[in-house]
Structure 1
């Protein structure tokens, strides 16, 4: 097997730079989809059912794209064509989703918003999956932890920018952040336009600055039998045969992948709850808005939403963007030292400790309730919020550390156990461990919120913390196939 050359530092960045734009758009969705869907008429307990399209798209799309990109060799590259196509489709969805109110004459805005959410998520998944495989393709094993740490850093830079954008457009630019019934706030609409542009621009950078290895060179670096690959590509298989082969891969997945699946279940079950219910949780718990103002049937009886309720919901929605940006910022900072920490403590202890801190962060949300009006200097502007809202910055440290580890450590641990010829399809299959817990969370979180917690969303955030702690414990049952390379490179220029 021919030794794969190490990449120059900035080329490692180029490989993943497009993920910054993807996460910019994904962060906008995570921080604002519940807000948009609520504005368009979704009930509090039904929000998770709308969000189910995100993991469902991942479950359907990523294995297909992974398998297809494994078999694609074109003059445009192996992974790049899928990355670019997905980015274009995602940008289209981002442009249309917040404008659902304009199609009311043709289709219900909430239905149109749900369809655009599905399109966005499908496109995000088409783009994300090849990015994971691209790092494995282009970055040699001894740089792998650094490669995924760089990807985690760029992801979180994009998330900080995307999460804060609606707040900036309101408090710096001056766009309106309140909405009328059945419409979306102008600040959110323009944030999605800008996000679509950043997404396309950064993906184009990666596509044009990353030259993928041709088949012969790639096979030599990965120790792949080129003739065997050619025979497999030339072989025509029926749909039944392809499905049979896929399920054989699924059943025979590496042991490390099966063990990581347990950790992923607890981690992503928790993350899904945070993305769906943080907005109503802090609107109720910190801003003091009663749960009835998230009830579609109740809203139908009152007509116009009172100005003070609309203002509170708008302010809380903007603050969610700020605290989501905060956890992404903390994740970005932790990503810089993640490879060093993993080298010192080991991958598993680093992963477990990170998840534990995330779980404690979620559970501490309940400690920050209401409080006196406090003026906060955010450098770009000053804003007045309840003191409890300021306190929520503290839990975000733990959540950010957990998020950085979730983005990097499973892939760093997994990549050494995967056959090079099947990296794409196995990365797609690994997405089952991300999508399945989110689908389950979508199905059960709403009934739990309504039936157990009486629609008090703060308590389901605490439940997410309990699951994240379970994830930390389950890390110690994972058996790694390879030791961490020595020494790791820092994620700095």
Structure 2
């Protein structure tokens, strides 16, 4: 509820340092401070206060900072830029896990990883403030001031439905991806007969390839076209999830090799890695396609709409996929047939 309206608010804001920068310079330090206080919060009310403030402060600046990319990047380079963002985010997660794991046991209250995260957030905000110069050309028409809910009404009631179809596609493919992301460990345990840790490791192999392929996916979208690239990714996800449903479980868990950093590779690892590449082709190119549907005055508003449909999918996805499992007598492989159905709905929306 907080993140989407922040984008429209940042579109309307006028300050000497830009539209997005105030959100970053206010939200980032507050989030960093309360994140650093979490390991010191040894009573429940203080812990709840820290975590609640953290969530609100991060939501305050998340959409504006994402909107900053299309603000400063020409349309033809936005897929490549989003690929770099996704790749760097993935690398950051890996580095944080490796270094944070080493720092975790250095103090009794395990504070060092939190303090490292806080310091990096403040440093990142300062680097953005120093090196990123926002464009200062704004639309000043008071009657046309950006508003999230007005934009949503316009999309629903207007004759042109391209942007609405893309947003519905985003909703459908995130519901579908939730079948893998949220339920894969249970699928690995209950269908494949693996340990929960092995299931998490397999999911990590998908994430690894997603990070690795994020930059190429952006360049493919820039050269081939975002719509075609997303369609290829959707077809890939449909085929790969169906294979995880159709193929006998014995053929999916044939051991192949142990790879440093990735763990034991099985035949299903190949499908998951291809799914990681397909998902990168979809995910990296979706935001640039959404913000290309509007002008520079409403980039934050449309970024907010992107987040709105993503969060609706994050709410609906676990429930829908849970109902599918419950309706099939706790057959967790059924998510691998439900997922392709929602991917197919996203495909229909993209084909328009």
TM-score tier by shorter-chain length is 0.7 to 0.9
Partner Cα separation in structure 2 for residue 275 and residue 121 of structure 1 = 22
User: Root-mean-square deviation (CA), in Å?
Assistant: 4.1
Partner Cα separation in structure 1 for residue 40 and residue 185 of structure 2 = 20
**Which one of the candidate residues 248, 266, 288 is aligned to 1:412?**
288
CA distance 1:202–1:397, change in 2 (3 Å): farther
Which residue number in structure 1 is paired with residue 217 of structure 2? 338
Q: Contact 1:256–1:414 at 8 Å: present in 2 too?
A: no
Which residue number in structure 1 is paired with residue 23 of structure 2? 82
Partner Cα separation in structure 2 for residue 374 and residue 198 of structure 1 = 39
Which residue number in structure 2 is paired with residue 471 of structure 1? 346
1:263 aligns with 2:142: no
Shift of 1:391: 3.5
1:73 aligns with 2:9: no
**Which one of the candidate residues 258, 264, 269 is aligned to 1:376?**
258
Which residue number in structure 1 is paired with residue 238 of structure 2? 359
- Structure with greater Cα Rg: 1
1:140 aligns with 2:42: no
Encode CA deviations 1:408-441: one digit per residue, 9 max, x unaligned: 3222223232132222123212322212222222
- Number of residue-to-residue matches in the alignment: 343
Task: Output aligned runs, 1:40-119, within 5 Å.
Answer: 60-88=1-29, 90-91=31-32, 116=51
CA distance 1:270–1:343, change in 2 (3 Å): same
Shift of 1:69: 0.9
Q: Secondary structure in 1 aligned to 2:258? A: strand
Encode CA deviations 1:282-325: one digit per residue, 9 max, x unaligned: 2444454xxxxxxxxxxxxxxxxxxxxxxx54x34xx62x4444
Partner Cα separation in structure 2 for residue 430 and residue 407 of structure 1 = 11
Shift of 1:250: 1.6
Partner Cα separation in structure 2 for residue 395 and residue 342 of structure 1 = 22
Consecutive unaligned residues of structure 2, counting only runs of 5 or more, are none
Q: Contact 1:64–1:425 at 8 Å: present in 2 too?
A: yes
Which residue number in structure 1 is paired with residue 279 of structure 2? 403
CA distance 1:285–1:165, change in 2 (3 Å): farther
**Which one of the candidate residues 178, 185, 201 is aligned to 1:279?**
185
Partner Cα separation in structure 2 for residue 361 and residue 190 of structure 1 = 41
TM-score by length of 2: 0.77
Q: Contact 2:234–2:344 at 8 Å: present in 1 too?
A: yes
Q: Contact 1:257–1:430 at 8 Å: present in 2 too?
A: no
Consecutive unaligned residues of structure 1, counting only runs of 5 or more, are 1-59, 177-185, 234-241, 289-311, 478-493
Partner Cα separation in structure 2 for residue 274 and residue 73 of structure 1 = 42
Q: Contact 1:79–1:130 at 8 Å: present in 2 too?
A: yes
Partner Cα separation in structure 1 for residue 338 and residue 297 of structure 2 = 40
